A and B are shown apart, each in its own frame.
Chain A
Amino acid sequence: MPKRKLQPLPSAAFQILLSLAGEDLHGYGIMREVAEQTEGRMRLGPGTLYSSIQTLLEAGLIGELDQRETAKRGQERRRYYRLTAAGRKLARSEADRLADLLRVARAKKILRGEYV
């Protein structure tokens, strides 16, 4: 079921996967990273954030760090999330899909910047 919910990949879920590409983050960290990588266009609210996180967890695309690892960060109260190999793969294929779309857009000349 979660797999089906992720097809097509909602943009919030994709942004969350991207935000975790660099490092493990807790909820607020993800929110800030997403806001940064979208230049403030996407500010994930708690409901969207955690429901997306839940879906991604169920699909095995991200994982939760265990207590010990979290404790090492001195942030016992927060849950940290980490991108899994499957999540990285899905993010990459989504990026490929967008790149393909870009290629079509370029071929249709709706973008600036031609190439030879």
Chain B
Amino acid sequence: MSEKIYAWLLRLYPPHFREKYGDEALELLRDRARDETGFFRTLRLWLDLLTDLVISIPRVYRSVRPALIGSAVQRVGGGPAFFVLEDGSQRLPAFVFGGILSLAVLTIVFGLLIHAGGQKAVGASAHADFASSSLRSRPSLSATSENAENWQPDSVAAAFQGAGGAAPMDAAERQRVIDGAIANLKRFYFDKDVALKTADALLVHEKHGDDNAATQGEVFAGVVTRQMRDASHDMHLELEYSQAPLPMGPPAETPDSLERYRQRMLQQNCMIRRAEILSHNVGYLKIDFFPDASVCGAMAKSAMASVNDADAIIFDLRDSTGGLENMVALIASYLFDHPEYMYSPRGAPTENSWTRSPVPGNRLADKPVYVLTSSTTWSGAEQFSYDLKNLKRATLIGETTRGGAHAGAFHRIDDHFGMGIPEEKAINPFGKADWEGVGVGPDVRVKAADALETARKLAVSKLDGK
């Protein structure tokens, strides 16, 4: 029955469409009717079909119109023209169906409007934004890969928020920005050959006029970013646009801003959410962020001291959003009896890339370590997990992490454009790709919610086996 009705409704489509797709459309209806049984699903099927008719019929007719315009119909003056869309004359049933359909659609739309009034979309909800509140700027322009990220959220994002009407870009401005981007690439990008290749690609695109359509800064930034990434295969290269003028450099670190950061961190217990001894003398640390060691070093040390006598230790990074390498190295210092290189793909090793092991008085260097991960564990927390896993110092339990190895220092081009450029590429001592885009896989794969329980069991059985 429903098939017959739909076969009739199909007559509303132009003949060429019916000929080509009519049978398939009926086939599709049969498939759906077979799979979707029951009152509500059938009702939904018909609502879908009717909505689809209303939306797609004008579309299908629009797609035959250009042919008509091109051939027979001449427009007269500037007056309104009436195009005949069907090859033959309209049949009466078509009008009748059109009328019935319009009534049905009006009823549905009316119903939907009443219904939709009751449920407004829920906008972006407020959330505790610990990670960004813990970002801070570095005073110098000699950018390490970290400080770009540190100052971007504070200044660039703030600049983004000063939205207003943007003036369209002209060719001269595009030229200026591309020249600036090329200069920065050649000067800062870690691989000179790739920098030259990418610069050439930008020039070729410009010469071919590939950028000309982009008159809005944001669009232009996207276009150039894609061109650079296509040429270099480096997803960290990007051109950024900000409507509000960019500051001349990373905002200077004032005693005030440092003090505010310190206060915020201390109020949050430096993002160390728990530090306790569980049953069977298993130490448990829940670390939701790795803040700057120069501010939170003392607090991290006291947290580590509080679990110093544990026989095994669990680091819970399931809610951890990342942090700085110096804190990653500081906490890892307690897990070794000799300095160990904590590899980070963000840049060449610095003095903070090595652990400060052995730590006087520390008794954790030879204790079993478990790291709990989730699919949201991110960035610096992934570095901690990745390095300890590859150094065979910890058992990772939980889910594959989210996969953010982000690097790229920010370079200002002019008032509205800046770009992210990876300046250094650290050699991976583990001889494989880092976790960018793929995450760090666990040794023991369980749901994040079950990871703590699994870790406790593993720890206890290991301790009992001693």
> Given the interface contacts A28-B32, A113-B321, A113-B376, does A107 sit within 8 Å of B149 by beta carbon?
no
* Contact assessment for A112 and B127 in the assembled complex, using a CB-CB cutoff below 8 Å: yes
Q: Is B74 an interface residue (CB 8 A)?
A: no
Number of A residues, CB within 8 Å of B: 37
* Contact assessment for A46 and B160 in the assembled complex, using a CB-CB cutoff below 8 Å: no
- Closest-CB distance, A104 to chain B (whole angstroms): 7
Residue of B nearest to A53 (CB): B21
A104 to B159, CA, bound (A): 12
* Contact assessment for A111 and B48 in the assembled complex, using a CB-CB cutoff below 8 Å: no
> Given the interface contacts A46-B21, A51-B63, does A116 sit within 8 Å of B322 by beta carbon?
yes
Q: Is B406 an interface residue (CB 8 A)?
A: yes
Q: Is A55 an interface residue (CB 8 A)?
A: yes
* Contact assessment for B25 and A50 in the assembled complex, using a CB-CB cutoff below 8 Å: yes
- Closest-CB distance, A6 to chain B (whole angstroms): 12
Q: Is B66 an interface residue (CB 8 A)?
A: yes
Specify which chain A residues have a CB less than 8 angstroms from the CB of B378 in the assembled complex: 113, 115
A49 to B60, CA, bound (A): 11
Q: Is B87 an interface residue (CB 8 A)?
A: no
* Contact assessment for A114 and B21 in the assembled complex, using a CB-CB cutoff below 8 Å: no
A31 to B238, CA, bound (A): 36
> Given the interface contacts A46-B49, A50-B21, does A116 sit within 8 Å of B56 by beta carbon?
no
A56 to B17, CA, bound (A): 15
Q: Is B297 an interface residue (CB 8 A)?
A: no
- Closest-CB distance, A49 to chain B (whole angstroms): 7
A53 to B13, CA, bound (A): 15
Specify which chain A residues have a CB less than 8 angstroms from the CB of B124 in the assembled complex: 110-111
A35 to B132, CA, bound (A): 36
> Given the interface contacts A43-B48, A46-B52, A111-B124, does A54 sit within 8 Å of B29 by beta carbon?
no
Specify which chain A residues have a CB less than 8 angstroms from the CB of B51 in the assembled complex: 45
* Contact assessment for B150 and A116 in the assembled complex, using a CB-CB cutoff below 8 Å: yes
A43 to B240, CA, bound (A): 36
* Contact assessment for A27 and B63 in the assembled complex, using a CB-CB cutoff below 8 Å: no
Q: Is B20 an interface residue (CB 8 A)?
A: yes
* Contact assessment for B129 and A114 in the assembled complex, using a CB-CB cutoff below 8 Å: yes
A115 to B28, CA, bound (A): 45
- Closest-CB distance, B181 to chain A (whole angstroms): 16
Contact of A45 among B53, B129, B322, B376 (CB under 8 A): B53
* Contact assessment for B27 and A115 in the assembled complex, using a CB-CB cutoff below 8 Å: no
Q: Which of B398-412 contact A (CB under 8 A)?
A: 404, 406
Q: Is B339 an interface residue (CB 8 A)?
A: no
- Closest-CB distance, B415 to chain A (whole angstroms): 17
* Contact assessment for A50 and B24 in the assembled complex, using a CB-CB cutoff below 8 Å: yes
19 pairs, CB–CB < 8 Å, chain A vs chain B: A43-B48, A47-B52, A47-B53, A47-B59, A48-B59, A50-B17, A77-B27, A78-B24, A100-B221, A107-B160, A107-B240, A109-B132, A109-B157, A110-B124, A114-B131, A115-B131, A115-B149, A115-B321, A116-B322
- Known A-B contacts: A45-B53, A54-B17. Give 11 more (CB < 8 A): A27-B27, A28-B27, A31-B28, A43-B48, A46-B25, A47-B55, A53-B21, A77-B27, A97-B222, A103-B238, A116-B135
